[in-house]
Amino acid sequence: MRFGEFTVDLAAGEVHRNGAKIKLQELPFRVLAELASRPGEVVTRDELRARLWDASTFVDAEAGLNTAVAKLREALGDSADSPRFIETIPKRGYRFIAEVHGPSSRVPRPRRSLAVVFIVLGALTVVTTVVAVVMMARAQAAKTTIAVVLFRNETGNPELDRLAQQLTDATVVALAANPHYAIIGNAPILRTPRIFEDLKKIGSELHADYVIIAQLQNPGLPAGASAQAGGLTVRVHFIHAADQKHLWANGITGSPADLEPRVVQAVSDGVRTTLGK
């Protein structure tokens, strides 16, 4: 499909601007595909959340959707205040306002008898429901379940508790964008104090194949020095729940302002490389 100076390849998951490929993560791309396939229509936030995250994914979908739309607008050079492409409909959702050419364009169809239409629609509904249930069951069985434990703030600075929470949420949202994973991030057992953490119990209760734990630290920072200047390290561990073996671990260093994208990229790459998907 095409709009403005952009071309979208739905099959390849790519967006080009005047022929040059632009960088766009999977979740913002899926938002674009949903909105641009229904130009001029209001797509509600509930519809988008249902399309982006299935029932097996426990994530702060509200924050995840806000982040995805913000990144999509940034990639398109769009603005919420003066939109060229994506218009915000307050308290409802979004509308794609640019003219779209290609697969999303509607083609007029000949009218049919209402009775025939209702019969066909009824039959299609039954078939679609059965197929959807079967496909969902197969998809759920094929997915790898990963539980993300709340990142621990071990800096001794309570002001960094919020950063640890943000890093946890960003990691959950990024991993949830991979269709091969079922991500659990909000279960109460994942928010227990460190002393009560039991990875084997987490895996058993949540039926998780793998567990991610991480600590926010400031090693080597002089006493009384401000962590805002840098020196923070996030140590991430990717663990097989059944036997608690470490499959991957890494330390990502940076300042509070630039840690989130570094952590998200490192964890996403580490998990994907380890699991091969």
Please provide the average confidence, as pLDDT, over all residues in the chain.
83
DSSP string, the chain: -EETTEEEETTTTEEEETTEEE---HHHHHHHHHHHTSTTSEEEHHHHHHHHS-TT-BS-HHHHHHHHHHHHHHHHT--SSS-SSEEEETTTEEEE-S--BSTTS--------HHHHHHHHHHHHHHHHHHHHHHHHHHHHHSEEEEEPPPEE-SS-GGGHHHHHHHHHHHHHHHHTSTTEEEE---GGGGS-GGG--HHHHHHHHT-SEEEEEEEE-TTPPTT--GGGS-EEEEEEEEETTTTEEEEEEEEEE-TTTHHHHHHHHHHHHHHHHHT-
pLDDT at 132: 62
**pLDDT tops 90 at residue 129:** no
Based on the number of CB atoms within 10 Å of its own CB, is 105 exposed (0-12), middle (13-18) or buried (19 or more)? exposed
Closest CA relative to residue 237, chosen from 219, 214, 256: 214
pLDDT digits (tens, 9 = 90+) for 27-72: 899 999 999 999 999 999 999 988 887 655 556 777 888 888 999 9
**pLDDT tops 90 at residue 219:** no
pLDDT digits (tens, 9 = 90+) for 63-112: 888 888 999 999 999 998 999 999 999 989 999 999 998 764 443 444 44
Closest CA relative to residue 180, chosen from 227, 148, 143: 143
Give the integer Cα–Cα distance in Å for 108 and 103.
14
Burial 233-251 (b: 16+ CB within 10 A, else e): bbbbbbbebeeeeeebeee
pLDDT at 152: 92
Q: Residue range 176-183: average pLDDT?
A: 91
Based on the number of CB atoms within 10 Å of its own CB, is 214 exposed (0-12), middle (13-18) or buried (19 or more)? buried
Q: Residue range 220-229: average pLDDT?
A: 50
Bridge partner residues of 215 (DSSP): 152, 235
Residue whose token pair is 């979908």: 61
Give the integer Cα–Cα distance in Å for 87 and 42.
9
pLDDT at 110: 41
Distance between start and end Cα atoms, the chain: 28
77: which residues sit within 8 A by CB, 6+ positions away? 84
